[in-house]
Structure 1
Amino acid sequence: MPRYFTKDHEWIEVEGDTATVGITDYAQSQLGDITFVELPDAGASVGKGDSASVVDSVKAASDVYAPVSGTVTEGNGALEEEPELVNSDAEGAGWLWRMTLSDSGELADLMDENAYKAFVAEL
């Protein structure tokens, strides 16, 4: 499954017209210990760049933006009981929400893994 990244440190993994979204390992390391995750509601329509979720940490609350437009199909319910999953496995079990894409052409504006690694290395 292809995985893409944003300059705001979100990742999106796409299979067909369905995508899973989360924050990158770099983002969680900058935030520190995650204490709470506010997830979008299933059925919510999000536009590319819209704030779709909020991650609270010991340092700050941070918006998580939708990498592409679509409709949220589910939030990661495990994060309600274990928000620290974002710290331990940000790019796996700590995913935030799944969505149906409304315009797969928006993926072309995102970075692949190599481009993202180069971007982070310059920060």
Structure 2
Amino acid sequence: MATILNHLCRRHIFITSARTTATRIQGPSAIAGSNEGGYKTWRNLALFVAFPSICLCALNCVLGHEERDEPEEFVKYDYRCIRTKRFPWKDGNHSLFHNPVVNALPDGYEEAN
């Protein structure tokens, strides 16, 4: 059993040292075949995957954006608008970036002006 383990350890050391030497001679393993350095792969990914994905996401945001005229009906649940202490600004009930159309107070939405 010990001879088998000894043989496997020596073989592993020999193979890893051979790979390291071959990498130093041939260059890094990221080279894509004919010494291109892999830049063509990344260029193609950027041109054909990344930029179209960004454009599609932007188009989705623009077309999917709907202006809400009326907020949904407020239902006072126990877990909504829990205030254990007052906010340290304004009247203590509005959040820092309060939007009266979207953000409800504990009693419901504010009246639209």
TM interval, shorter chain, is under 0.3
- Using CA pairs under 8 Å that are at least 6 residues apart, name the structure with larger relative contact order, 1 or 2: 1
TM-score (norm 2): 0.17
Pick the structure with more helix per residue: 2
Q: Which has the higher strand share?
A: 1
TM-score (norm 1): 0.16
